[in-house]
Structure 1
Amino acid sequence: MTGASLVGLRYTPLFDYFVDKFSDTDKAFTVVADNYVTDDSGTGVVHRTPVFGEEDYRVCIKNKMIQKGKYLTVAVDDNGRFTEVSHF
């Protein structure tokens, strides 16, 4: 199986804490590809964190996972604790 064969597949996130925040898009939990991810260095798989990474932000905008200029969910506070998860 190649990474390219996974592109477009939807997945259920391991932690569902913020799923409701992305209910307005069907692209949020979808496998995408970009040329900054390669298979000759590391695993060839990366997660997306558009609020903390320029490339991640660009890829999410390009794939309509988020909208430019809209509020982005920040899942952790300054201490690295989940912001909206009470049992952590």
Structure 2
Amino acid sequence: MSDLYEQLGLRSDATLADIKKAFRQKAAQYHPDRNDAADAPARFRAVQEAYDVLADADKRQAYDDNRRRNLLDSPIDTAREIWNGYLDKLL
């Protein structure tokens, strides 16, 4: 599973207003009616799923708890995933 905050282009300390604003921008950008790229429907669904979790306080808390637990349970794998994502953006 990819990082839901990353899907919306946000930091993990984003407010609900930030989440809503980012969702509206990304949804408009990737909506299949506006974007004819082959991956637009999949990216739109990913943005929608990220919003569904992050906009709901209980789901967001569970997601954040799971992110912290993954970092603690498997720090090497988590660090590798973070660095790979970072390096992929640079290239």
TM-score, L = length of structure 1: 0.22
Between structures 1 and 2, the one with greater helix share: 2
